[in-house]
Structure 1
């Protein structure tokens, strides 16, 4: 049984769902919680996934308490009515953690796709860092995207035999999408005022996407001020900002940037449009984990609007930099990429350290290895950087949790198996 509820989960779980459906010895059950309704439905339609169960828990103004309570209440009868040999969850959302907890209560084995990511700070990101740490203690199968993620799990005392290094499934989804993407931006792309988004021939596009809870309030104000400074300093610059629906994001972004020349504010775009915006951009400013993983495949540098990241592989590979939310630092780093061609070239020509498009295949083979006697253990994903002997967890530890590697600002089944 696969359970997910948000757009990022759906994108990363879609290749796994498809691989499970294609295997003759597995009887998959797809459950969605609907934690993010509209954005989730876009991805389900895009990948042609029809859920077997839809808990539809989303309500306006929902809190973490609301999501947790409704998900747990919905999952109990779901898991009882649809017996599973394994429950698969993805990432670090409230849906993922509560689904793992519900399965544990019923003594159903849990598998965690994208296991082992850590910042070593319990409040950054919040609540995701604690969600994924607690999930690791519940899981019998841990699908780590990279060797570094495996090292984090081992440091936390997770059994080595439960860990499979698969690569990140987002690269699987990305490869499917990029192959079918038309050139340029969609002709019907409009901003929040309904104006067509057109790019002058000589402009450079910077894509902006920020939404994390730790960046709400003052940090978001600093980010917006930095964006205003950038378009004032570089007259050939166009900023395209995909504005999250969270009211606390909009209460800062709209007053600060609406009407600013060469800043285009968009409603959240669907996944294919987001990828086209990424491909057409010069570089990306974001706090999104998924974009950090996708951008290397598109040859796009990323400036990460966070103090820490659970994805240090991109920092070490040189495709991403942590810039935090200090306005002056954002302007300094972004300006450097705009005026220093060599620095830009070095960041844009890096092999993706997160995956090779075969993560879903490895995940399914790992499940068979766990449940089917005689099934082989899958060959593990090795990033280009790891294969050259340079992939090691960060020796320095930061934050208030023991164990995980962190990069911080200032450092560069048998037949009938159901599930």
Structure 2
């Protein structure tokens, strides 16, 4: 019996689980062709465990890397050593990583140093500003230099890679695997009621490191001001577990909080997608939500000074607002006060694919990777 292609998929955060779900599922559906090893660094703790349970994803190796107040550099060192040991022990034919987390970068570099081909899901996103997002932009560019297969979520992302010198035949336009997960989530039964007819809900999320503390203070302050200006609108502020974010949230929202502001604990992926689908508009600095909102037909205000997701900006369904309090208040008010403007931005579209990215990625792996690839590469 011919040896199967051995794929080691590394992840460590909730977004990675969400966006690795469809390729891992497709790999495991073809177990006569692929041997799939899922490795979890534990870069996120509670959120990661919940996501693994949501998607029914079994893990073969776990690191449990996260410690309180741990620096990103410490995570990188620990993950790289662990991933290198796995590559030496299991000798995968390819290492599959996703996005731009510290786990992704460290596992990719470890595979590179083990002479193991690296396949990068969601390749080619760029702001060309290493401070925004930090450290994610640097991670993306490191992976762009060392990966062997680049799975681009959009034509713009693919063009970035080719412009940087990646061979065009190593860049594959697949769409974004996050959209695969979104369609799956929307097909699941909902466990929360839809909002009453006519009730407008604004969903707000923020967590970016480069926005701490001033930007996040401005965002939370804007929400408080808007809630007072629009008492008939419900503002759903989903708190991130980052300690600096939580401290700032308590400072701004403790005390006499407006009654129409809900401060919500992070919820599981499926109910959160239904929450986004029920919203009137979304305010966020999350990359994943910037991809999901266009499919849902929700106007999106990006509260950051840079974004690597320019496609909705060009189409006109999102605006890059920044982290100035007055600018945020004006942008949200403009959509709440102007139904025609809201309607123009609430046009559903699919800039990141049709929900079949995972299947495309696995098909390409089967065509481009042969069993024994890593050993033959000089291991």
1:55 aligns with 2:63: yes
Q: Look up the match of 1:215.
A: 211
Q: Look up the match of 1:296.
A: 294
Q: CA deviation at 1:293?
A: 0.5
Q: Aligned partners of 1:229 and 1:56: how far apart in 2?
A: 40
Partner secondary structure for residue 57 of structure 2: coil
Q: Look up the match of 2:257.
A: 260
- Which structure carries more helix by proportion? 2
Q: Aligned partners of 1:264 and 1:57: how far apart in 2?
A: 32
Q: Look up the match of 2:35.
A: 27
User: What whole-Å deviation, never above 9, does each CA across 1:151-181 have from its counterpart, x for those lacking one?
Assistant: 0001111111110000000110111110113
Partner secondary structure for residue 132 of structure 2: coil
Aligned residue runs from structure 1 range 152-301, under 5 A: 152-182=160-190, 184-185=192-193, 202-258=198-254, 259-261=256-258, 262-301=260-299
CA contact (8 A) 1:185 1:273 kept: no
Q: Aligned partners of 2:327 and 2:106: how far apart in 1?
A: 37
Q: Aligned partners of 1:25 and 1:202: how far apart in 2?
A: 51
Q: Aligned partners of 2:105 and 2:191: how far apart in 1?
A: 39
Match of 1:9 among 1, 11, 16: 16
Q: Aligned partners of 2:278 and 2:359: how far apart in 1?
A: 30
Q: Aligned partners of 2:55 and 2:143: how far apart in 1?
A: 27
CA contact (8 A) 2:81 2:110 kept: no
Q: Look up the match of 1:380.
A: none
Match of 1:349 among 343, 347, 350: 347
Q: Aligned partners of 2:298 and 2:238: how far apart in 1?
A: 17
User: What whole-Å deviation, never above 9, does each CA across 1:31-82 have from its counterpart, x for those lacking one?
Assistant: 1111002111111111111111111111122111221121122222222111
Q: CA deviation at 1:182?
A: 2.1
Q: Aligned partners of 1:107 and 1:238: how far apart in 2?
A: 53
CA contact (8 A) 1:172 1:356 kept: yes
1:88 aligns with 2:96: yes
Q: Look up the match of 1:151.
A: 159
Q: Aligned partners of 2:189 and 2:303: how far apart in 1?
A: 27
Aligned residue runs from structure 1 range 315-326, under 5 A: 315-326=313-324
Q: Which runs of 5+ in 1 are unaligned?
A: 187-198, 373-412
Q: Aligned partners of 2:64 and 2:56: how far apart in 1?
A: 18
Paired positions, count = 364
Partner secondary structure for residue 204 of structure 2: strand
Q: Look up the match of 1:382.
A: none
Match of 2:46 among 26, 30, 38: 38
Q: Look up the match of 1:312.
A: 310
CA RMSD of aligned residues (A): 1.7
Q: Which runs of 5+ in 2 are unaligned?
A: 1-7
TM-score (norm 2): 0.93
User: What whole-Å deviation, never above 9, does each CA across 1:200-225 have from its counterpart, x for those lacking one?
Assistant: 65531110100000111111111122
Inter-CA distance 268–318: structure 2 relative to 1 (3 Å threshold): same
TM-score (norm 1): 0.84
Partner secondary structure for residue 28 of structure 1: strand
Q: Aligned partners of 2:188 and 2:237: how far apart in 1?
A: 24
